[in-house]
Structure 1
Amino acid sequence: MSLPVILIDDESIILNALQQLLSIEGFESQVFNSASDAFKTLTPDWPGIVVTDINMPGMDGIAFLREALKQDPELPVIMLTGHGDISTAVEAMRIGAYDFLEKPFSNEHLLDVLRRASDKRKLVLENRQLKEELSAQGTAGPRILGNNPKIKALRQVLARIKDIPADVLIKGETGSGKDLVARYLHYNSKRANENFVAINCGAIPETMIESELFGFEAGAFTSAQKRRVGKIEHANGGTFFLDEIESMPMPLQIKLLRVLEERKIEPLGTNKAVDLDIRFVAAAKVDLKELVEAGQFREDLYYRLNVINVEIPPLRERKEDISLLFQHFTAIASSRFGTDVPKLDSEQLYKLESHNWPGNIRELRNTAERFVLMGGESVQSEPVVDDGQATGMTLAEKVAYFERSVLQSALQEHEGRLVDVQQQLGLPRKTLYDKMRKYGLVKDDFKVVQ
């Protein structure tokens, strides 16, 4: 997929011709007659390439280049120069331009430079995302483990939105890790040193939830002997997590909507408002849109919460992560219970990956704890449900599935030590590396967490 391109030139004829050429070649482009107007659209991680003329009225190409590289030193900027402007083009290259083309240039030359610049830009952006993920995964606090593409995409989304001052709605099945995602978002944001406050809207009696959320002054009602700070006010400066938001009573939804819109709260028994600086994160295990259509959830509150939508995939859609997650949970359990981590054989791993996991991550964690407590004798307390993971496969698919399971089992047994895995499986080093790359297996994922 080609990256977007910004085209800047004060001659409309040239702009139109370039845009038409790029469109035919599959590039999406934006055109600007003014460099200053184009600069306003740039962001530090804008995922594209800039092609700009040098000689233009107002902000010229050199001035644009200097300002653009201050914002993003690795942005590829291709300069277009007329005959006789070679010294200026050399100056542009010294400043940091990706390349320059002397007019008139061939279409093939321009396209070749664009493709090379596109490849470089993709690599730069991928490296930035990887660094962000490694930084987040290396910090103390919640970690979102997994190599499934949906989980990688989830981590990338969370990295992008962690400091955006907008509320977030998390959707995921029971046990999929909605609380973990909310905590991960908080502890990797600039709010990390402030309070993270969570409340389950379905676990608090309807008669108590209002006072729990908003707090109250002494004498607000019969049993209110002294002032109590509500959960929302306690989260001021940090993050407030509303789990099972679909269970919130309709009258309270109206009051929550007002808080979200005004960023103020009035404790029960007082008219004095408290200003709030809070990120609200809500989570639902059902489709709120369907509840809105059924008249069971306020439409205005739904749209107010749904500024940024994050969806967690169920465990059955990321079965390649089961071995890694199971190993992680068994390491934690063995540390907590003061026992050794039992070894997981290939047959047990097959059972884990064949199970449908209706309880998602929570069910897997409980299974891992039971596995540790029982000394590795069992990985299931209920009959395994084969939902088609192995049945219905072609012979080649079954062989690949078995091969991947054997590799995972060996890597887990030897805690990612590749020399030991080679010896156990009788594989040359290059063959082992090739197979691990084929199945997306990383040795560091199998090191036991201390």
Structure 2
Amino acid sequence: MPRIMVVDDEKNLLEFMEIMLEQEGFNVTTCQNGEKALKILKEELFDIVITDIKMPRISGIDILKYIKNTSPDTDVIMITAYASHETAVEAMKAGAYDYISKPFNNEQIKLVIRKALEKHTLKKENVRLRRRFEREESSRNKIIGNSKEIKNVLELIKKVSKTNSTVLIYGESGTGKELVARAIHENSQRANQPFESINCGALTETLLESELFGHEKGAFTDAIRTQQGLFEIADGGTLFLDEIGETSQSTQVKLLRVLQEMEIKRVGGNKRIKVDVRIVSATNKDLKKLVQEGKFREDLFYRVNVFPITVPPLRKRLDDIPDLVEYFIKKCSKENGRKAPNLHPDTLSLMKQYSWPGNIRELENVIERLLILCPDNEITPNYLPEEIKNPNLSKNIYEVSELQLPEINPQGINLEEIMMNIEKRYLLKALENTGGKKTKAAELLNLSFRSFRYLLNKYNIN
């Protein structure tokens, strides 16, 4: 139901407008002065605001300017008994949708409101079509594979999609946890509603809470306008919280309240706003261990862990590599406007022997690199990165017992210094492999962005 606010210092006009608009099926709020209007506008959002221009203390122009600064999508219709060319021009310059002079008839105001709402409907339809396009685009990045491990994941997705239960997706970085979350959404009854996602480990606590819950104008230094958070934007749909294990205790308390009450408060606001959002979370950490260490709230853990799904690392589903390689070759070739080359059998064989610590994300990056380097119609092994070409260099880093360790001399060794050197070399190698892109480098190392940034500072890596 469209929400309309009417602001006028004439009580009789307010009562008339309220009755007329409610009969038309609108949700109407009336205010007899600008002060009351601004107080409500700080807490609530409206589709249309109809305001008189001439009012004591706070004028309609003041209200119009406030709305355009805090809620640009709200349309403002100006009404006044003091019609003049100057006031009309001032109102339209300030962003008014339309301008009506008193006295006006019922049909006149209804027509202007209908036109404003038609504009709103077109905007929403454009958003809906864009989201549909995004879903179709994301569905192209579907979950690929026929291994037993991935079939188990698909079966779990199929079962949980029919419910509204919260889901917690476990898996290393690059395994495709967001694809699983999208698949759950797209196969649910919420498929035509928004799917929003956020990486909880990539933002500071203040920015994360502002992104999740929204904020009121003036809530902090850069809050120049009221902004909806992802919980409001995703209303009716699904919100994907990646790296939920990276959230602070303060944010965890607020997330728990949302899951319990299905309502939020914007940063700097007092009004409780009801939301209807399905929460799908993901982590590359052992949340049970974090609970035991006091770093993750036990009550929140049980709320988000209703239906756990574990996405296997690529080294545990090597049988899927041929299908994944074929998919990424076609995808990357199309994006770069070239014919998809063939893959030499020896190239595929070497790829199946590699441990893929960066998982599917690393595989896609390797394919993209091969298509750049290889001008031929066949990708031969010599184009592969050295660590894939030489199996001895790419021993599974998870099989520590098989690594060749240096001898311990009688004088002993400085283990801490050796480990720091190894850590620093991996940081530099990850940055080199990703062309200096820190977010991707963190993902290759299975680190949160916050932890990665801390290590960069620790080793003074710029």
Q: Which category describes the TM-score, using the shorter chain as reference length?
A: 0.5 to 0.7
Kindly provide the amino acid, as one letter, of the partner of residue 293 in structure 1.
Q
Kindly provide the amino acid, as one letter, of the partner of residue 288 in structure 1.
L
- Measured at CA, do residues 205 and 312 of structure 1 come closer, stay the same or move farther in structure 2, by a change above 3 Å? same
List aligned pairs for 1:85-234, cutoff 5 A: 140-234=139-233
- Measured at CA, do residues 282 and 139 of structure 1 come closer, stay the same or move farther in structure 2, by a change above 3 Å? closer
Kindly provide the amino acid, as one letter, of the partner of residue 248 in structure 1.
T
The answer to whether the Cα contact below 8 Å between 1:170 and 1:309 also exists between their aligned partners in 2 is yes
Kindly provide the amino acid, as one letter, of the partner of residue 213 in structure 2.
F
Separation in 1 of the partners of 2:330 and 2:238? 29
Match of 1:379 in 2: 384
The answer to whether the Cα contact below 8 Å between 1:142 and 1:183 also exists between their aligned partners in 2 is no
- Measured at CA, do residues 252 and 387 of structure 1 come closer, stay the same or move farther in structure 2, by a change above 3 Å? closer
- What SS does structure 2 have at the residue aligned with 1:271? coil
- Measured at CA, do residues 228 and 286 of structure 1 come closer, stay the same or move farther in structure 2, by a change above 3 Å? same
Match of 1:245 in 2: 244
The answer to whether the Cα contact below 8 Å between 1:141 and 1:187 also exists between their aligned partners in 2 is no
Match of 1:369 in 2: 368
Match of 1:256 in 2: 255
Separation in 2 of the partners of 1:380 and 1:176? 20
Structure 1 stretch 197-206 or stretch 354-363: which is displaced more?
197-206
Kindly provide the amino acid, as one letter, of the partner of residue 350 in structure 2.
K
Structure 1 stretch 247-256 or stretch 269-278: which is displaced more?
269-278
The answer to whether the Cα contact below 8 Å between 1:142 and 1:187 also exists between their aligned partners in 2 is no
Structure 1 stretch 225-234 or stretch 356-365: which is displaced more?
225-234
Separation in 1 of the partners of 2:321 and 2:215? 46
The answer to whether the Cα contact below 8 Å between 2:210 and 2:267 also exists between their aligned partners in 1 is yes
**Deviation of residue 144 (structure 1)?**
1.1
**Deviation of residue 212 (structure 1)?**
1.3
Match of 2:84 in 1: none
**Deviation of residue 142 (structure 1)?**
4.3
Match of 2:320 in 1: 321
- What SS does structure 1 have at the residue aligned with 2:319? helix
**Deviation of residue 357 (structure 1)?**
0.5
Separation in 2 of the partners of 1:219 and 1:226? 7
Q: How many residues align?
A: 253
The answer to whether the Cα contact below 8 Å between 1:339 and 1:372 also exists between their aligned partners in 2 is no
Identity %: 44
Separation in 1 of the partners of 2:314 and 2:323? 12
Separation in 1 of the partners of 2:243 and 2:138? 28
Q: Deviations over 1:392-415 (max 9, x none)?
A: xxxxxxxxxxxxxxxxxxxxxxxx
Kindly provide the amino acid, as one letter, of the partner of residue 234 in structure 1.
I
- What SS does structure 2 have at the residue aligned with 1:216? coil
Kindly provide the amino acid, as one letter, of the partner of residue 183 in structure 2.
Y
Kindly provide the amino acid, as one letter, of the partner of residue 291 in structure 2.
V
- Measured at CA, do residues 137 and 159 of structure 1 come closer, stay the same or move farther in structure 2, by a change above 3 Å? farther
Q: Deviations over 1:211-234 (max 9, x none)?
A: 111111223334322210011111
**Deviation of residue 369 (structure 1)?**
0.9
Q: Deviations over 1:350-394 (max 9, x none)?
A: 110000010000011111111211222523353442559xxxxxx
Which one scores higher on RCO, CA 8 angstroms, separation ≥ 6? 2
Q: Deviations over 1:236-262 (max 9, x none)?
A: 111101101111111111111111111
Q: Deviations over 1:1-51 (max 9, x none)?
A: xxxxxxxxxxxxxxxxxxxxxxxxxxxxxxxxxxxxxxxxxxxxxxxxxxx
Separation in 2 of the partners of 1:139 and 1:190? 18
Kindly provide the amino acid, as one letter, of the partner of residue 226 in structure 2.
R
Q: What is the TM-score when the length of structure 2 is the normalising length?
A: 0.52
Structure 1 stretch 211-220 or stretch 245-254: which is displaced more?
211-220
- Measured at CA, do residues 168 and 367 of structure 1 come closer, stay the same or move farther in structure 2, by a change above 3 Å? same
**Deviation of residue 316 (structure 1)?**
0.5
- What SS does structure 2 have at the residue aligned with 1:261? helix
Match of 1:297 in 2: 296
**Deviation of residue 138 (structure 1)?**
13
- What SS does structure 1 have at the residue aligned with 2:198? strand
**Deviation of residue 147 (structure 1)?**
0.9
The answer to whether the Cα contact below 8 Å between 1:243 and 1:282 also exists between their aligned partners in 2 is yes
Match of 1:336 in 2: 335
**Superposition CA RMSD, Å:** 2.2
Q: Deviations over 1:407-431 (max 9, x none)?
A: xxxxxxxxxxxxxxxxxxxxxxxxx
Kindly provide the amino acid, as one letter, of the partner of residue 228 in structure 1.
Q
Kindly provide the amino acid, as one letter, of the partner of residue 385 in structure 2.
Q
The answer to whether the Cα contact below 8 Å between 1:192 and 1:238 also exists between their aligned partners in 2 is yes
Structure 1 stretch 214-223 or stretch 349-358: which is displaced more?
214-223
The answer to whether the Cα contact below 8 Å between 2:163 and 2:188 also exists between their aligned partners in 1 is no
List aligned pairs for 1:356-435, cutoff 5 A: 356-375=355-374, 376-377=379-380, 378-382=383-387, 383-384=390-391, 385-387=394-396
Separation in 1 of the partners of 2:273 and 2:310? 32
Q: Deviations over 1:305-327 (max 9, x none)?
A: 00000000110011110011011
- Measured at CA, do residues 332 and 274 of structure 1 come closer, stay the same or move farther in structure 2, by a change above 3 Å? same
Separation in 2 of the partners of 1:262 and 1:307? 17
- Measured at CA, do residues 354 and 157 of structure 1 come closer, stay the same or move farther in structure 2, by a change above 3 Å? same
- Measured at CA, do residues 181 and 305 of structure 1 come closer, stay the same or move farther in structure 2, by a change above 3 Å? same
- Measured at CA, do residues 140 and 361 of structure 1 come closer, stay the same or move farther in structure 2, by a change above 3 Å? closer
- Segments of structure 1 that go 5 or more residues without pairing to the other structure are 1-135, 389-450
Deviating beyond 3 angstroms after TM superposition, the runs of 4 or more aligned structure 1 residues are: 136-142
Q: Deviations over 1:248-300 (max 9, x none)?
A: 11111111111111111111232222111111011000110011111111111
The answer to whether the Cα contact below 8 Å between 1:158 and 1:185 also exists between their aligned partners in 2 is yes
- What SS does structure 1 have at the residue aligned with 2:342? coil
Q: Deviations over 1:40-64 (max 9, x none)?
A: xxxxxxxxxxxxxxxxxxxxxxxxx
